[in-house]
Structure 1
Amino acid sequence: MKRRDFIQKTALTSSAVTLGGSLAYGANTNLDIKHTFNLKYAPHFGMFKNLAGDDLIDQINFMADQGFTAFEDNGMMGRDVATQTKIGEALAKRNMTMGVFVIDKGGNMANTLAAGKQEYIDIFLDGCKRAVEVAKRVNAKWMTVVPGGFERKLPIGIQDGNVIEALKRGAEILEPHGLVMVLEPLSDSPDLYLQNSDQTYMICKGVDSPSCKILFDIYHMQKTEGHLIHNMELTWDEIDYIQIGDNPGRKEPTTGEINYKNVFKYIHSKGFKGVLGMEHGNSKPDKEGEMAVINAYKSEDNFL
């Protein structure tokens, strides 16, 4: 499942749902006991819609009732102001941490910052400015940035310099507000400029701002480089956000090859207090699949 699929699916729901409806999961007595997790796992809209119903606020309440203490929404910038405000209020009421949303710059491959073109930089900076207002409504701190594709006509060092300079401009917008853009290396296409954790580390060092850090997506990094704990250790001082998905398939932990119990144990041992976004699909459909997601996290979080 690619990021654009998450964004399209979540953004399209904002105009179709009503907020504040009755909870749809009250009859599920096996879900009545709130679990205490060791880490801040963050589900997204739609992950529990069969158990919680279509209403967005009901879904947030369901997540909180299961013990999840964070939430993320890639498509938040595509929602109307009223919806953003109600989501922010619901998260505050349930004491949930808002995770990432994606800074709107036109798509993962579009407006590549590696090209150094002013028109692309302007689109990115406009997205940063608008993201500040969205962050205020939902009490967000982190925003995902994908710099775009390679500019194949330019030497890689020039591309690196162009990306660093553009991100410095973005950091200047975000830093006064205490906001952080987290750069996400992806495995979706060989044409994407940002693909590895060490490369992302270098870019963050070049930008040299508390508002530019790494989003370490475990699913993507397992695909592109493996050695997850080793590479997280090497880049740890620049990692500010983590996302989850097993490989192959990009579904919940326990469905693929990644030993998530060990990975979560390592992250906890580092004293990580941030968010771990559950940016994956469900391996099974309907309520059964949603229960499988909850049970998988209970199982893999049991590392102490």
Structure 2
Amino acid sequence: MLKFAANLSFLFTEHPFVQRFEQAASAGFRGVEFLFPYDFAATELAHRLQQNALQQILFNLPAGDWAAGERGLACLPGREDEFGASLAQAVHYAQALNCPRLHALAGLRPAQACEDSLANTYINNLRQAAAYLAPLGITLLIEPINSRIDMPGYWLDSLPKALHMLEAIDAPNVKLQLDLYHLQIMHGDLARTLETHIGQIGHIQIADNPGRHEPGSGEIHYPYLFRLLEELGYDGWIGCEYKPRGDTLASLGWRPE
């Protein structure tokens, strides 16, 4: 049976953040994810998880100055120390929340940047991060994000590049975070991609296209893909990282029984 996690940065935004845990549990979710926990005390979030019998599935490493437009640090030469500090901060929260997965945002491509320098910085940062996380039982995720609509200038913006980075990093606890919405925009051919790379996938996220709304609102045939994932034996979580067209509860009619 497929396992769906509510992304609390996208769902139940009708409520203050700390109240979304209860809303997710009441809606039948047993797992949650979100972008960042760092504006809240780890003890407060851990209490909300325990109170609502929820598992923390995933969150992102600090991404630099998000409000100023930064979208990660991992590929940025000269900011390796900052990346290391962000990893330590994320691990503090991951251990408090018993979270087994962390996603490292790659960052935006700097102007006049040397591609080899960006790639080497990314590989070295993630190799060191993977070695640090492995004894803690934490999987490090990398996600190709479309740079055409959602993150213009994002460096890790294709599946082939992400697969090449996985090969170069060469660590068993580094996996793909595959968002089918981004993948549809970048490449399409979702079923074949899942079939080909199911062994490299550590986490899946969903939204429909266009609009990044709930499944069933656009062109992606999610009932077929859900059946395929079951046939492939996928036993990981599926994060619901979509923007409801209206009320969150009204957007949940797509869920399989």
**TM-score by structure 1 length?**
0.75
One-letter amino acid of the counterpart of residue 161, structure 2: Q
**How many Å separate the matches in 1 of 2:153 and 2:225?**
29
The reply on whether 1:77 has 2:38 as its aligned counterpart is yes
The answer to whether the 8 Å contact 2:43/2:96 transfers is no
- Give the one of 234, 245, 257 matched to 2:196: 234
Structure 2 counterpart SS, 1:100: strand
The answer to whether the 8 A contact 2:18-2:45 is kept is no
Structure 1 counterpart of 2:251, from 293, 297, 300? 293
**Matches for 1:1-304 after TM superposition, within 5 Å:** 38-45=1-8, 47-48=11-12, 54=16, 56=18, 59-90=20-51, 94=53, 96-106=54-64, 107=66, 109=70, 112-117=73-78, 120-151=79-110, 153-187=112-146, 188-284=150-246, 289-297=247-255, 301=256
How many residue pairs get matched? Answer: 250
Q: Write out per-residue CA displacement over residues 217-276 of structure 1, whole angstroms, 9 at most, x where no aligned residue.
A: 111111111111212233222210111111111111011110011111112222222111
DSSP-derived class of the 1:78 partner:
coil
Which structure: greater helix fraction? 1
8 Å Cα contact 2:71-2:154 kept in structure 1: no
Give the superposition deviation at 1:76: 1.3
Q: How far is 1:127 from its partner?
A: 1.1
Q: Distance in 2 between matches of 1:190 and 1:67?
A: 35
Contact 1:42 1:276 in 2 (8 A): yes
Shift of 1:164: 0.8
Whole-angstrom distance in 1 between the partners of 2:174 and 2:17: 34
- The percentage of aligned residue pairs carrying the same residue is 24
Gaps spanning 5+ residues in structure 2: where?
A: none
> In terms of mean alpha carbon deviation, does 97-106 or 246-255 score higher?
97-106
Bigger relative CO (Cα 8 Å, ≥ 6 apart): 2
How far apart in 2 are the matches of 1:82 and 1:244? Answer: 29
Structure 1 residue 54: Cα displacement:
4.4
> What RMSD in Å do the two structures reach over aligned CA positions?
2.3
Q: Which protein is bigger by CA-based radius of gyration?
A: 1
8 Å contact kept, 1:180–1:213: yes
Alpha-carbon offset, residue 290 of structure 1: 2.5
- The SS at the match of 1:181 is strand
Distance in 2, Cα, partners of 1:133 & 1:172: 16
Relative to structure 1, the CA distance from residue 77 to residue 272 in structure 2 (aligned partners, 3 Å threshold; closer, same or farther) is: farther
Shift of 1:132: 1.2
Helix, strand or coil for the counterpart of 1:235? helix
**Shift in Å at residue 110 of structure 1?**
5.2
1:93-122 Cα distance to aligned partner (Å, 9 max, x none): x2x3312111003147456443432xx111
Aligned residues of 2:73 and 2:83 also touching (Cα < 8 A): no
Relative distance call for 1:73 and 1:113 in structure 2 (3 A) is closer
The alpha-carbon deviation at position 81 of structure 1 amounts to: 3.0
Asked if 1 retains the 8 angstrom alpha-carbon contact of 2:101 and 2:141, the reply is yes
- TM-score, length-scaled by structure 2: 0.87
Equivalent position SS for 1:205: helix
Letter in 1 for 2:39: G
AA matched with 1:159: L
Contact 1:105 1:123 in 2 (8 A): no
Give the secondary-structure state (helix, strand or coil) at the position aligned to 1:101.
Answer: strand
Equivalent residue, structure 2, for 1:3? none
Asked if the contact 1:151/1:159 (under 8 Å) is kept, the reply is no
What is the alpha-carbon distance in structure 2 between the residues aligned to residue 54 and residue 196 of structure 1? 34
Verify the 8 A CA contact 1:44 1:278 in the aligned structure 2.
yes
Q: Return 147-156 or 240-249, whichever deviates more.
A: 147-156
Gapped runs of 5+ residues in structure 1? Answer: 1-37
Distance change >3 Å, CA 165–CA 232, structure 1 → 2: same
